[in-house]
């Protein structure tokens, strides 16, 4: 497997934040971004590096906060009518890198109402995309992740690992942050594991602060501390994630993946009513359910990404 496109290390500081559950937004940016490099990281996934336009140093407005973009693609609706489709992607690069950002993109078969990932992966170096920077994500009352909790657990289903990699980078590359992070990455087969080489490198570079465990749902591997089997159980939670802390603010579990995956682990995510312009309403966390509730976590200790 190819290694990750090079990143830059940083020195930075942040301050703790409150933990009230909410979703919201701040000022955003939109424009065109040119593909600079690409390499294949799994049978159907690529890492794509896009240059920022002249005059913009960082993708986001704050180089210590997670970022997310909405890519626009001229496709068709589910009824087959021409429509501008939008799909959100969280970069896997640290928000502080200068002049570029990296996306991890899985390509799916083009179908009515879809195909953005396949479109991106088919781009040639030098071609451009149109995308907008999405609002900063408010997680239980704050956009801050670094130095906010003592322990972070991350549960990723397939491509759901992408936003979580950015969280890992933000915490690990801050020299004043001592957060301990445990990642559980769940995939069908070993060849489907995305960014394994980079995740293993981060675990090797930060053995006291970051660990990763992989679980396969369609094949088994010889037993060992870094391999599990299955989509998830309460026992798997207890072996591979920080324990519940009674909602004292010291622990946070992030879950990211397809809707069904998130529902299994933390309960379904809802949506507010559509906006006045017809676009989807913001996501609503909804009550904590699923494996994490069964394992004893408080609703304030889980965020469905």
Q: What element of type H or E holds 163?
A: helix 161-172
Distances in whole angstroms, Cα of residue 149 to Cα of each of 50, 53, 90, 187: 31, 35, 21, 27
pLDDT per position in the chain (305 positions), as tens? 333 444 333 333 333 332 233 334 444 678 999 999 999 998 889 999 999 999 999 999 999 999 999 999 988 877 788 888 889 999 999 999 999 999 999 987 767 667 899 999 999 999 999 999 999 999 999 999 999 999 999 999 999 999 999 999 999 999 999 999 999 999 999 999 999 999 999 999 999 999 999 999 987 776 655 689 999 999 999 999 999 999 999 999 999 999 999 999 999 998 888 877 666 778 899 999 999 999 999 999 999 99
CA distance 170 to 14: 10
- Residue in this structure with the two tokens 């890492």, named with its chain if needed: 47
CA distance 234 to 291: 6
- Rg of the chain over all Cα atoms, to the nearest angstrom: 19
């Amino acid at each position: 497997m190819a290694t990750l496109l090079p990143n830059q290390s940083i020195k930075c500081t942040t301050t703790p934040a409150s933990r009230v559950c909410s979703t919201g937004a701040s000022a955003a940016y939109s424009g065109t971004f040119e593909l600079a490099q690409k390499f294949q990281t799994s049978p159907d996934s690529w890492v794509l590096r896009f240059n920022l336009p002249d005059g913009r140093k960082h993708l986001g407005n704050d180089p210590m906060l997670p970022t997310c973009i909405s890519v626009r693609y001229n496709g068709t609706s589910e009824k087959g009518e021409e429509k501008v489709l939008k799909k959100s992607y969280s970069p896997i690069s640290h928000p502080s890198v200068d002049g570029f950002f990296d996306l991890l993109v899985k390509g799916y078969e083009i179908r009515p109402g879809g195909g953005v990932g396949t479109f991106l992966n088919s781009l040639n170096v030098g071609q451009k995309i149109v995308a907008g920077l999405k609002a900063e994500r408010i997680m239980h009352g704050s956009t801050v992740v670094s130095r906010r909790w003592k322990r972070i657990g991350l549960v990723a289903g397939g491509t759901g690992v992408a936003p979580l990699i950015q969280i890992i980078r933000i915490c690990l590359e801050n020299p004043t942050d001592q957060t301990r992070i445990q990642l559980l990455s769940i995939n069908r087969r070993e060849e489907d594991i995305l960014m394994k080489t980079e995740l293993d490198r981060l675990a090797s570079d930060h053995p006291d602060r970051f660990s990763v465990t992989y679980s396969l749902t369609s094949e088994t591997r010889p037993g060992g501390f870094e391999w599990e089997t299955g989509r998830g159980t309460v026992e798997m939670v207890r072996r591979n994630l920080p324990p519940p802390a009674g909602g004292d603010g010291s622990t946070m579990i992030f879950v990211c993946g397809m809707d069904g995956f998130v529902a299994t682990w933390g309960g379904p995510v809802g949506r507010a009513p559509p906006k006045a312009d017809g676009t989807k309403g913001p996501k609503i966390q909804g009550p904590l359910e699923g494996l994490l509730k069964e394992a004893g976590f408080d609703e304030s200790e889980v965020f469905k990404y």
